[in-house]
Amino acid sequence: MRQTRVRTGQQRLRRALPLLTVALLLGPTPGWSRVVVGFGLGFPLIVPPPVYYPPPVYYPPPVYYPPPPVTYAPPGYVPPGHAPPGYAPPGYPPPGYAPPGRYAPQTGQSCLAGAYRCPMEQPTTQGAACYCRGNGGERVWGHAN
C-alpha cells in the first residue's frame, strides 16, 4: 500500500511562493495573439496612400458684365409706334375704318361707379344712384349717366 501524505496549506504556500516571486519579477507579457485572414496573389500588393486635393478656388463675380448680344429684327418688322401713316398690322383694320352699323356700340344709359362702368338694365333719370358688380361680386355704388 501506498502512503499518502497530507499537505497542509502552509506547505503548499512554501512551494508556490518561489513560483509567484519569479512571475512577479518578470512582469506581465503583452499578448501576442491575433487573427489574420488573407489570400495570396503570388506577388506583394502595394496600396498607395490616398491622394489629397487642394481646396476649391473662389472666383469672385466679374466687375463688368458685358451687354447682351445684339439681335436684329426680321425683315418686314415694324416696331409699334413707328408705322407709316395708313399702315395697320396684319389682322387689324386700317386707320379710319368704321365697323358696320350692326357692330356699332349701342347707345343707352350706363352706370359710372368708380373704376367700373356697366350698362343699365332699366332706364332711370340721369344722376340717380346705381351700382355695378366689382371683380369680387360686391356692389360698387355710382350714378347713372
| Rounded average pLDDT per 10-residue block, the chain, 145 residues | 68 82 73 71 81 83 84 75 69 70 65 90 89 90 91
- The answer to whether residue 47 sits within a structural domain is no
**Is residue 144 one of the residues assigned to a domain?**
yes
* Helices and strands of the chain, counted as H and E runs: 1, 4
User: Does 100 map to a domain?
Assistant: no
Q: What is the pLDDT of residue 113?
A: 92
Q: What is the model's pLDDT at position 3?
A: 66
In a domain, 135, yes or no: yes
Domain assignment of residue 121, given as a range: 108-145
- Confirm whether 124 is domain-assigned: yes
Residue with cell 496600396: 47
Domain count, the chain: 1
Domain-located, residue 66: no
117 located within any domain: yes
Kindly report the average pLDDT of the chain as a whole number: 78
Residue 123 lies in a domain: yes
Contacts of 88 (CB under 8 A, 6+ apart): 94, 95
- 104 CB neighbour count, 10 Å cutoff: 9
Strands 129-133, 110-113: pairing kind: unpaired
